[in-house]
Structure 1
């Protein structure tokens, strides 16, 4: 686990190494985002040993439940599926981990009712509160002062943030870039040059184009080498991915020079989508992208490329 190479976006939530004392206490010391990252990448990190365990069925059932719970929008026809998954997951826990059954596990049985009454649960989760609370817990440990931490969080930190929010715009409406530089002619092959000329016309690559490493547009970060969801294909709503090759500026406007990837299949073993590059280049306007506004990392396993995320996406 310590030698695993996390991607650009996943490295921000890189979980700490799992130690023997964590296994003995049945508890991992990590934040919510770090635990979610570890849960999502679990089949990738431990791909050589995980599927030799009979209890892997527990992970797969829980993974399908979480993918549904974190989906926005959520189809009502998924509610029976979520209910059936809970029943199967509960039985698998009784078969493989009967001593690990806790009262909190019963909360999973309420998700279908909560979603049916109040909509997607992801709009109600308290991850941001946990992030604020984690900050104050660190201060309490260092200062040795544990007096009413939640009150201090509510009356000081949140109140201060409210005052700041009244004077500033939380969502950025302007474009931001980092590491802007000129484009070199020798970077493009013939297929890339044809794509650029077809879109921009007859231009000088070194004089008319600029590139950057990262581009922020409408609070979405586009990073070179990362993968994003473009749209869906066929009736099964298979996601179509693209990889950002370059972020180019032409006539005061930024464009994404991308490689449209081929989605091979969904790999049940790694709980990830297998993708393949076909050198199908295109130029996209970042303002027109509307699915899953977060970059994904590519992981190489068994001479194949995979991307994975926690959600079941749909057209409506």
Structure 2
């Protein structure tokens, strides 16, 4: 686990190494986002050992449940599926981990009712509150002062954040870039040059084009080398991916020079989508792209490329 190479986006929530004391206490010391990152990448990190365990069915059932719970929008047709997954997950826990059953597991049985009454649960989760609360817990431990931490969080920190937010624009309405530099002619192969000429016309690559490493548009971060979802391939809602090769500027406007990837299949073993580059280059306008999910990282396993995320996407 310590030698695993996390991608650009996943490295922000890189979980700490699992130590022997964590296994003895049945508790991993990590934040919510770090635990979710570890849960999502679990089949990738431990791909050589996990499928020798009969209890892997517990992970797969829980993974399908989380993918549904974190989906926006959420189809009501998925509610019976979520209910059946809970029943199967509960039985698998009894079969494989009867001593690990806790009252908290019963909350999973309520998700279908909560979603039916109030909509997607991801719009109600308290991850940001947990992040704030974690900060005050650290202060309390260091100062040895444990007087009503949640009240201090609500009356001091949140009011301070509200005061700051009323004077600043939280959602960025302007484009931002980092590491702007010139483009070298020798970077493009013939197919890339044909794509650029077809879109921009006859231009000088070194004089007319500029590139950057990261580009922020409508609060979406586009990073060179990362993968994004641009739509669906068919009615079966297979995601269509593209990889950002370059972020180019031409005539005061930024464009995404991308490689339209082929979605091979969904790999049940790794709980990830297998993708393949066909050198199908295109130029996209980031202002006209529909946002489906944040940037994804590519992981190489068994001479294949995979991307994975926690959600089930839908056309409507």
- Which of the five TM-score ranges fits, normalised by the shorter chain? over 0.9
Q: For residues 96-117 of structure 1, what are the alpha-carbon distances to aligned partners after superposition, in whole Å with 9 as ceiling and x for unaligned?
A: 0000000000000000000000
Q: For residues 66-88 of structure 1, what are the alpha-carbon distances to aligned partners after superposition, in whole Å with 9 as ceiling and x for unaligned?
A: 00000000000000000000000
Q: Are residues 1:245 and 2:269 paired?
A: no
CA contact (8 A) 1:177 1:216 kept: yes
Mean Cα displacement is larger for which, 89-98 or 163-172?
163-172
Question: Match of 1:275?
Answer: 275
Residues 127 and 107 from structure 1, CA distance in 2 versus in 1: closer, same or farther, beyond 3 angstroms? same
Structure 1 residue 38: deviation in Å? 0.2
CA contact (8 A) 1:226 1:298 kept: yes
Distance 2:252 2:291 in 1: 25
Q: For residues 168-198 of structure 1, what are the alpha-carbon distances to aligned partners after superposition, in whole Å with 9 as ceiling and x for unaligned?
A: 1110000000000000000000000000000
CA contact (8 A) 1:73 1:314 kept: yes
CA contact (8 A) 1:183 1:209 kept: yes
* DSSP-derived class of the 2:73 partner: coil
CA contact (8 A) 1:228 1:243 kept: yes
* DSSP-derived class of the 1:167 partner: coil
Question: Match of 2:41?
Answer: 41
Question: Match of 1:21?
Answer: 21
Structure 1 residue 167: deviation in Å? 1.3
CA contact (8 A) 1:260 1:279 kept: yes
Structure 1 residue 292: deviation in Å? 2.2
TM-score calculated relative to the size of structure 2: 0.99
* DSSP-derived class of the 1:16 partner: coil
Mean Cα displacement is larger for which, 163-172 or 175-184?
163-172
* DSSP-derived class of the 1:122 partner: helix
Q: For residues 284-314 of structure 1, what are the alpha-carbon distances to aligned partners after superposition, in whole Å with 9 as ceiling and x for unaligned?
A: 0111222324100000000000000000000
Distance 1:293 1:313 in 2: 9
CA contact (8 A) 1:231 1:291 kept: no
Q: Unaligned regions of 5+ residues in structure 1, if any? A: none
Considering only aligned residues, what root-mean-square deviation do their CA atoms show, in Å? 0.6
Structure 1 residue 253: deviation in Å? 0.5
Structure 1 residue 94: deviation in Å? 0.3
* DSSP-derived class of the 2:166 partner: helix
Structure 1 residue 44: deviation in Å? 0.2
Q: For residues 212-237 of structure 1, what are the alpha-carbon distances to aligned partners after superposition, in whole Å with 9 as ceiling and x for unaligned?
A: 00000011100000000011011210
CA contact (8 A) 1:220 1:293 kept: no
Question: Match of 1:155?
Answer: 155
1:112-191 alignment runs, 5 A limit: 112-191=112-191
Distance 2:291 2:300 in 1: 24
* DSSP-derived class of the 1:231 partner: strand
* DSSP-derived class of the 1:248 partner: strand
Structure 1 residue 48: deviation in Å? 0.2
Q: For residues 240-266 of structure 1, what are the alpha-carbon distances to aligned partners after superposition, in whole Å with 9 as ceiling and x for unaligned?
A: 000000000001100000000000000
Structure 1 residue 144: deviation in Å? 2.0
* DSSP-derived class of the 1:7 partner: coil
TM-score calculated relative to the size of structure 1: 0.99
What number of residue pairs does the alignment pair up? 316
Structure 1 residue 34: deviation in Å? 0.2
Misfit runs of 4+, over 3 Å? none
